[in-house]
Structure 1
């Protein structure tokens, strides 16, 4: 009789376990790991989109900021997570592309060990300085930079978008910067606002509040057209630095092995979010662009991610940038 009871209990346990696994996805909150500090551009985009995705999926999306080591701590957590759709990663071009050239021994592959869900946004950067800099135009800024003995440039970390742009900028204008990396662009920008550092390349979504409050000096947008939210800030072409166009993008990934139907469901939720007029309005407020329709699908985003890896990883390796 005891053996029969044990077998019956085991069978009941299997039934319960089977019922749990059979529950439609998602049946509990979903964790989104943002590989950047709170308050930065990637975090801002993640929170705008995650709120709408949660509404579409009928669950709570919990956003956790895991910065540090240029975002590799956050991407590593996602790579090592259970591939069940309950841990996702949101990061930028620097986290999921550039770091492949910076960290050859990560212990995971930034392309092969993730399931791409969808691209979320893209947007230009703005060249900014602390208020104490006397220059009011980009050409005046360049002249001022050339006259200074030790120019400091804040970045959100080694290999962050601002760092890569800064390296290109210094080669273009013939100035050597002292790069000061932070654990994310938000604290980097704050030290420029405080006057501790001279200049920074910052994404528009993070720079807008500081520009509007007058705590930094904006010089140019790294795009071919002016931004509707900052109509008085010229483009790099207008400001005398033609062709210096930089667009930074963000995306969503799941751990490798996440079931395809879950990835597709997540991608559909992203498309719903990006089509929402409220999300579009928020994007317009922070000068972010909705990605092309093809990049809002797993296959299309995977192809774009691969192309970006093939383009940028050799450049980063050739530049000889080494993590601190």
Structure 2
């Protein structure tokens, strides 16, 4: 028997371990099962039997999460990603399916909409705490998976599919939604249609005046990444869904600016770009980050450096730059 076969023979097939550990979980001994998943998977990793270690950790994460053991499940999910790195697993469809399988097991916690007595308030407090734990655990797992994917074959910003998973979970499961963070992941994803659906949903629940800011921010974020195609696709899809749902699309100076901007980006018209910024300055001042995003857009599309000493010098500075001044 070769040394490799001898080494492999020291551990049973992973499926035997999985079936044994699942029984421990089903008996309600979650902590005991957790220790088994961690210690035994580590032995498979040490033996360089990475696929079996991943099988054990994936199974453990899913069954713990299925039983509502979010802390345990999230820990095993994190170890799953850590093992992907140790095994130098490439980013591919098969591994993406594994990540998605674990992601889908993270609980969705319904938050009570109406409060009555003190017991209801107590339950709400407990529910919000649980929801926060779920979001933190799922976010940590998916962020680690994004980092792994970027290192092993995905685009530089990480797997677009995982960014969409994270954006969706953050939006629909966070007790307090942060639309900036949600948008940051959606624009690095590959599904502007799904992003549009989320923004339309947000329009129906946000405070007055937040809807146009959320849409504008999303468009500007896409453009700051140099992604004019998805910026246009997002705007078209939002308008289509709003019409289908018989809702009213925001009518504001900010939306007018965004429509003009998207038209401007189709042509090499930096002076027009600057004129738009100047004419809509008071509107853009509603959200300070818009000016930073527009600086990045100017750099991406027109080669104008952000925050260089010429900014703020008006026409003379622009003329100097167009003449080739650095």
Which bracket does the TM-score occupy, shorter chain normalised? under 0.3
- The structure with the largest strand share of the pair is 1
Which has the greater radius of gyration? 2
Q: RCO higher in 1 or 2 (8 Å CA, sep ≥ 6)?
A: 1
TM-score under structure 2 normalisation?
A: 0.21
